[in-house]
Structure 1
Amino acid sequence: MEVSKASIQKAVANNIISEQQGIALYNFFQEENQHTPSFTFTHILYYLGGLIAIGAMTLFMNLGWEQFGGAGIVFISMLYAGVGLKLANSFARKHLIIPAGICATFVVCLTPLAIYGFQQWLGFWPQDDAVYRQFHTRVKWLWLYMELGTLVTGLTIAWRYKYPFLIMPIAVTLWYISMDAVMLIVDQDNMWNSYTWEFRAQVSMYFGIVMTLLAFWVDIRSRHVADYGFWLYLFGVIAFWGGLTSQNSDSEVSKFFYFCINLVMVGLGALLVRKVFVIFGALGCCFYLGHLASSVFRDSWLFPVALTAIGLGVVYVGIWWQKNEVKITRQARRVLPKLVQELLEGKLR
């Protein structure tokens, strides 16, 4: 829970703490939270500038860079990486953690460009019609060398600097690998061609489960340090939910099972205090209800009435939950492993 200046002023007004204690407490929280990402103008400038720089060397690359040739691309990438590491070290010495993490992340994001240039330089690039600007928009097996190299670089720099934002390119790279590895299998065996979409959806779903479990493991291991699991949770849930939603079935039982899985995601998000589960779970529930309204109960006047009753019932459950939340959560935590209890305690303070 974030403590605002207004909250401290109310505590002073109610004689809970003195005015001097309120000032000291506010200054303490300000110092504690200055390196934690938040929606402040300073942090917005940090991330806006960092994402512009990262986007310039990734998403917004144009064909003009191809004229430098493989050797030129490698040289420019190494030059940029040197500047990025220099800035990261400089910011770290000044205890500017967020800018240091952004600069270190910028270096990791340069890795696929450098590997692409290196392959072109040595004449190992397999396709003349594939260029680097397609890396983030096309699913191809030939990106795997770039992705594996980025994964190694990302893990190395994350181990060196230990900034949570460095997990972002690692999570994205793992997601890309899951998609491009499928294309490698499909391209090698023509028998898969008729099942490409379904097969890719299943791989995405199972890979999302693995990444989410990895995020949970990282979350427990780093529960006393920083939030290293955020980006893994984000892309794990996206991969799982995207693969699950892409499954095609004419069975109403399967669709209802899909609805139940999304309800579980909402509950899991509330338990782990992870909004990404709640958001995608709620979207899935809305999709299922939309299916019922447009297909199953299309001509029934009772469905909107029943749905309204269900909605009001959910609101009532929320009121009941608010009154009994402390009691229920305490009883529920007792059956959980001690490590999970410590993780939840840290998030719910």
Structure 2
Amino acid sequence: MARISQHALKQAAQAGIISEQQADSLHLFLQQQDSHTPRFNFTHLLYYFGGLIAIGAMTLFMNLAWEGFGGWGIVSISLGYAVLALILCQRFKNQGLVIPAGICATFVICLTPLAIYGLQQAMGWWPSSSQYQDYHRYIQWQWIYMEVATLVVGLILSWHYRYPFMILPIAVTLWYMSMDIAAMLTGHRPDYLFRALVSLYFGLAMILIAFWVDIRSRHCGDYAFWLYLFGVLTFWCGLTMQDSNSELAKLGYFVTNLVMMLCGVILARKVFVVFAAFGSFAYLYHLADSVFQDSWLFPISLTIIGLAIVYLGILWQKHQLSLSSKLRAYLPLALQELLASKAH
């Protein structure tokens, strides 16, 4: 959705399209809408930076000192944090502060693995000598219980509060679970290539789920954003890490990135375009460095292709509305509504 600046509204008022009072009211309304939608501004930067530090403190940055509290101590501290976060979440929700409320609810979901780990330690159910800090580092089957509990808590809280940011820890947990299930089924820690393959198929599944969520939530919040982000990240990394000496396979990699770029444009999802651009340039660099390293025609050919793509963009801009409407007429109604909502 395009953003309208205050300057543009003033220009519209000066042109007599709207009154100055309408311009001021519309600007105030748009500011209130922006406060509910993630934007790259200083306020939202503080929200997410502070929230991620708090979440990281109880997940990625957890150290061995916490083992000294014992199982029940870890459970008690986790529950105390969770209660405090839920109180803050409800308070922020009542004040209309959607993003801080969502961050607090997400914090509770991220606390769940620690609480379950403490419970297993307290009850004597922990099956190995691993510590909680290994949860985000190593692939092991015993993390399954922590992951299942996280998914349950995440789904319950997401159903109750319905904040898009809460989808992120659910997506990460599903990725962890896919790796751990692979380790459980194979009976050993998967090697590098197998993990890349698991990430590839998991990412593809996540992208399809994100597309389904995108269609279902097309009339409300952007609940698919984090699913797309994590799905594309895991799919692209898994695809890029595949080992192949075949030029045909490398060409397939390039074509896949082009398809991703096209999907990103159609769905108005920049994450597809960003990763696809990296992959495309990596393939072109491979051609220049290995396949056509002694060819003076290759850079010239790329220049011509690049200019041709620019000209194609000019033609598309001129006929975008007519071509888009004709193409969308062949799509299902739900997909037409989704694309129409992205076009405004």
Give the aligned partner of residue 211 of structure 2: 216
Render the CA deviation track for 1:216-257: whole Å, top value 9, x for unaligned.
Answer: 111111111100001111111112111111222222111111
- Corresponding position of 1:163: 163
2:96 corresponds to: 95
Specify which of 230, 241, 244 is matched with residue 246 of structure 1. Answer: 241
Would the aligned equivalents of 1:140 and 1:180 in 2 still touch at CA under 8 Å? Answer: yes
Secondary structure of the 2:191 match is: helix
- Aligned: 1:343 with 2:344: no
Instruction: For 2:3, give the aligned amino acid.
Output: E
Q: For the residues of structure 2 that align with 1:7 and 1:282, how far apart are their CA atoms?
A: 32
Contact 1:12/1:19, CA 8 A, preserved across alignment: yes
CA deviation string 1:275-308 (max 9, x = no partner): 1111111111111111111111111121111112
User: 1:308: which partner in 2?
Assistant: 303
Offset of residue 34 of structure 1: 2.2
Asked if 1:206 is matched to 2:201, the reply is: yes
- After the TM superposition, which of the residue ranges 319-328 and 51-60 deviates more from structure 2? 319-328
1:3-46 deviation digits (Å, cap 9, x = unpaired) = 11011112122222222221122122222332112123222222
Equivalent residue, structure 1, for 2:40: 39
Partners of 1:186 and 1:196 within 8 A in 2: no
Q: 1:10 matched to which residue of 2?
A: 11
Please state if 1:332 is matched with 2:327.
yes
For residues 158-187 of structure 1, what are the alpha-carbon distances to aligned partners after superposition, in whole Å with 9 as ceiling and x for unaligned? 001111111111111111112222222233
**Distance in 1 between residues matched to 2:11 and 2:134, nearest whole Å:** 55
Distance of 2:63 and 2:277 partners within structure 1: 38
Q: How does 1:264-303 map to 2 (within 5 A)?
A: 264-303=259-298
Instruction: Compute the displacement of 1:76 (Å).
Output: 0.4
Corresponding residue number in structure 1 for 2:185: 185
CA distance in structure 2 between the aligned counterparts of 1:142 and 1:305, rounded to whole angstroms: 56
- Is 11-20 or 336-345 further displaced after alignment? 11-20
- Aligned to 1:102, what secondary structure does the other structure show? helix
Identity of aligned residues (%): 57
Identify which range, 53-62 or 133-142, moves more after superposition: 133-142
CA distance in 2 between counterparts of 1:313 and 1:142 reads: 54
Could you report, residue by residue, the CA deviation over 1:62-85 in whole angstroms, capped at 9, with x for unpaired residues?
A: 111111111110110011001011
| Alignment match, 1:51 | 52
One-letter amino acid matched to 2:263:
L
Deviation of residue 112 (structure 1)?
A: 0.5
For 1:325 and 1:178, how far apart are their aligned partners in 2? Answer: 41
* CA distance, structure 2, for counterparts of residue 320 and residue 121 of structure 1: 67
Residue number in structure 1 paired with 2:313: 318
State the superposition RMSD in angstroms.
Answer: 1.4
Mark the runs of 5 or more structure 2 residues left unpaired by the alignment.
none
1:16 aligns to what SS in structure 2?
coil
Contact 1:209 1:240 in 2 (8 A): yes
> Between Structure 1 and Structure 2, how many residues are aligned?
343
Question: What SS is found at the alignment partner of 1:213?
Answer: helix
Partner Cα distance (2:112, 2:193) in 1 = 31
Query: In structure 2, how many angstroms separate the alpha carbons of the residues matched to 1:41 and 1:317?
Result: 37
* Matching residue of 2:192: 197
TM-score calculated relative to the size of structure 2: 0.96
Distance in 2, Cα, partners of 1:59 & 1:197: 22
The answer to whether residue 137 in structure 2 is matched with residue 137 in structure 1 is yes
Per the alignment, residue 226 of structure 2 pairs with: 231
The 10-residue stretch of structure 1 (298-307 or 163-172) with the greater mean CA deviation from structure 2: 298-307
Give yes or no for the alignment of 1:174 onto 2:169: no
Q: What code does the residue aligned with 1:17 have?
A: I
Asked if 1:108 corresponds to 2:109, the answer is: yes
Counterpart CA distance in 2 for 1:334 and 1:8 is 33
Please state whether the residue corresponding to 2:249 is helix, strand or coil: helix
Give, in whole Å, the separation in 1 of the partners of 2:34 and 2:238.
37
What per-residue deviation string (whole Å, max 9, x for no partner) do you get for residues 112-160 of structure 1? 00111111111121221x2111222222222221111111110010001
Q: Is the 8 A contact 1:8 1:22 kept in 2?
A: yes
